[in-house]
Amino acid sequence: MKIGFIGLGIMGKPMSKNLLKAGYELTVCDCFDGPVKELVAEGASSAATPREVAEQTDIIITMLPNSPEVKEVIIGKDGILEGAKEGTIIADMSSIAPLVSRELAGILEPKGVELLDAPVSGGQPKAVDGTLSVMVGGKEDVFNKCLPLLEAMAGSVVRVGEIGAGNITKLANQVIVALNIAAVGEALVLATKAGADPELVYKAIRGGLAGSTVLDAKAPLMIGRKFDPGFRIKLHIKDLMNALDTGHEVGAPLPMTASVMEIMQSLKTDGLEDADHGALVRYFEKLAQIEVGS
């Protein structure tokens, strides 16, 4: 089975490397030469356009920033659809608007091309160690064909419904993560301002009801002032925008999501859009005029 991978960014590159480690024959494509050359040096082949990737492969994974980029790569000029054969499968692992996934599936199906929407959670660290959580929407038989491939990059792969359900699940995930990170940052600023040691506060509460994967992942980084991107604020803004848009479309108000979105927009204005989303703590630090860990 020949696999294509389009989009070798902070997530796509390590995911591609895990496919190579698992023994898959891989053809890669990206708008930047650097990551392509790096993957080729590790055994991949390269293609100049998504169309060429489709001509050479059976299953194509896309890992791209947002809906417009996914549409361009799949149905744009020199896109996947121009080179795809009947029976080609596209597993879009980007985080995009669910309605766009459904739109694309409607365009592809008459051409004999199948689509899965299969966004991931876990950020760069889990992309590197191959333990991502993957939430998949699409036909069950198509999912089953792709399951071993997805498992080579993940610790958990769950089909959550028909096309679009993967990205709906991812939006719910991103809402929970954003609100959780904001709560951790706000709480650690409170502890610091009130004179407590934030590291000891974290150790004391992590085993109780406040404990969470987000707390364990982000509290040490906030305390240690480590804001190098595992998942950039600007990408979380994109996800929350998709969540808010979807909420408006289906009639589900998201007032807490909207509040955290405005916090992220404030950080973007302060020049922190490329910082890790754990930098949400810096918004609360600015309000309280204190730094966690100081």
Picking from 104, 47, 124, the residue whose alpha carbon sits closest to that of residue 78 is 47
Widest CA span in the chain: 65
Strand partners, 120: 134
Q: Convert 12-27 to b/e letters by CB count within 10 Å (16 or more is b).
A: bbbbbbbbbeeebebb
| Cα separations in angstroms, 264 against 100, 185, 236, 258, 261 | 24, 13, 8, 10, 5
Strand partners, 261: none
| Cα separations in angstroms, 169 against 124, 240, 257 | 19, 13, 15
Secondary structure of the chain: what % helix, strand, coil (to 5)? 55, 15, 30
**Token digits for 283?**
């918004």
Handedness of CA 63, 69, 70, 75 (dihedral sign): negative
**Token digits for 132?**
């991502």
**Active-site option among 17, 170, 218, 238:** 170
Reduce the DSSP state of residue 13 to 3 states and report it.
helix
Q: Which position has the token pair 């509040």? A: 259
- Is 200 exposed, middle or buried (CB count within 10 Å of its CB: 0-12, 13-18, 19+)? exposed
Q: Is 170 labeled as catalytic in the residue annotation?
A: yes
Distance, in Å, from the CA atom of 22 to the CA atom of 210, rounded to the nearest integer, reads 37
Residues assigned a catalytic role: 170
